[in-house]
Amino acid sequence: MKSAMASWESAEGATGYQVKVYLSNGTTLVTTVTTTGADGTGKEFTWLKIPSVLSANTTYKADVTAYYYASAGGTSIPQVSFTTLATPLAPKGLTIFDINMKSAMASWEAAEGADNYLVTIYAVNGTTVVTTVPTSGADPITGKPFTWLRVTGLTGNTDYKAVVTAKVGGAIGGTSSPQVPFTTKDMPDVPTHLTVAVDAIGSTWAVPSWWSVEGATGYTVSYGTNAAADNIGTATTVETLARLINLNPETQYYVKVKADSTGYPSSAYSAAVAFTTKVIEVPTNLVVNVDAISSTWAIPSWWSVAGATGYTVSYGTDAAATNLGTLPTTEALIKLINLNPETQYYVKVRADKTGKTSSAYSAAVAFTTKVNLFNLGNTFMVECSRSNRVYG
């Protein structure tokens, strides 16, 4: 469409040649191309390619002039007439690769003059069209039309054949030959990029995640405390993450994942990834409600911590909540007794796990015990007695 090859017989004594291309009138010069170098015989080349400056479906004329260094010799006559193609030739080098269950990549060599391409996928019989996929746009680096694309919507474990057709605008050019056969995979690929991020790990839970797999309808996660990641159990999910619960704090676990596809075999498992759960979590929402305070006792409470086997409560009249000691409890509350009326106290709590490190203490919470009404009543009676003695 845009170029042509020219060849001629050598001229005795020539050290070079120059090909000129004219419009069909034979006088308007379009381009001049000069040979450079010599072929394997040591003689000047007697052929060259007229570059892609020509127009499609256009008639031209050409001649060649022999040169002896800078001096022009004879020019061939008559001028040779030729017409460029109206549509591009067939692309070459069609390759199908990166084949998955549901898709495959196709790439090919550029066809001169083509500004877009159409990939056609046939059933194994080579005649039944399964899908056609056009290229769209141009390579941002080269500015040339894309010579690759991904074909999607295929079926797993199925034989196909592919061709690519060059086009210019809406005009159809050549189609590659022969058809290229390929077979989609019979199972999904193994999931990749399995990870358990630091912020996706708690003391009793973890959320592993991975990249989605084409053709997968779900995933199976296997986990355990052994390197094979299989001595605790499995969990299924249709997402690319899973929440593992009821784990032990400060414990190393292993996790792996496989892709499942309805009606097809599952993939192999990924390599196992290790992670370690955190120290048991600090209790939250520590509070001493007004109706849980008397003059000599108080009942602080908090939200239970997953995995905790008990709690330690520290309390005192100091802001650090330590100068009166600590008390253990297996519940998410405790009754502090033998307190003094009308006194400010501070309390804090930590979570404990048998055989593991305890959590840090929560922030201390202040509360004030109430007035002792019994003593207040006694004081009132004493005052009344005094009044009787003075005024009675």
Helix (H, G, I), strand (E, B) or coil at 16: strand
Averaged pLDDT score across all residues of the chain: 93
Indicate whether 331 and 232 sit together in one domain: no
Confidence label for 391 from pLDDT (cuts 50, 70 and 90): very low
* 247 and 287 both lie in a single domain: no
Query: What's the pLDDT tens digit per position in 41-88?
Result: 778 889 999 988 898 889 999 999 999 988 999 999 999 999 998 889
Number of domains in the chain: 4
* Same domain? 384 vs 291: yes
Q: What separation in angstroms does the CA of 354 have from each of 159, 249, 281, 305, 311?
A: 59, 10, 14, 14, 11
210 and 290 belong to one structural domain: no
Q: Is residue 166 within 8 Å of 119, Cβ to Cβ?
A: no
Least confident among 30-39, 119-128, 290-299: 30-39
pLDDT of residue 5: 94
The 3-class SS string of 69-128 reads: CCEEEEECCCCEEEECCCCCCCCCCCEEECCCCCCEEEECCCCCCCCEEEEEEEECCCCC
Question: What global pTM score does this model have?
Answer: 0.69
The helix or strand, by DSSP H or E, that contains position 323, with its residue range, turns out to be none
At which of 276, 310, 335 does a domain end?
276
Asked if 306 and 321 sit in the same domain, the reply is yes
Last residue of a domain, one of 247, 276, 305: 276
One domain, residues 268 and 290: no
Print burial letters for 113-134: b (CB count within 10 Å at least 16), e (below 16).
bbebbbbbbbeeeeeeebeebe
With respect to residue 89, please indicate whether it lies within any of the assigned structural domains: no
Q: Does some domain include residue 193?
A: no
Any domain includes 67: yes
* 335 occurs within a structural domain: yes
In a domain, 290, yes or no: yes
Whether residues 132 and 240 fall in one domain: no
**Strand bridging mode 171-175 / 159-168:** antiparallel
Q: What is the CATH number of the domain that holds 38?
A: 2.60.40.10
Q: pLDDT tens-digit profile of 330-381? A: 999 999 999 999 999 999 999 999 999 999 999 999 999 999 876 655 544 4
Whether residues 291 and 344 share a domain: the answer is yes
290 and 380 inside one domain: yes
Last residue within a domain, chosen from 149, 183, 217: 183
Tell me if 3 sits within 8 A of 55, measured CB to CB.
no
Q: 292 and 386: one domain? A: yes
Q: Is residue 125 domain-resident?
A: yes
Whether residue 343 is contained in a domain is answered as yes
Shared domain for 284 and 392, answered yes or no, is: yes
Q: Are 23 and 68 in contact (CB under 8 A)?
A: no
The amino acid that residue 109 corresponds to is E
Tell me the residue range of the domain where 265 lies. Answer: 198-276
* 246 and 305 together in one domain: no
Give yes or no for a contact between 349 and 359, defined as CB atoms under 8 angstroms apart: no
Does any domain span residue 178? yes
Q: Where are the alpha helices (DSSP H) in the chain?
A: 373-391
Q: According to the model, what pLDDT value does residue 378 have?
A: 53
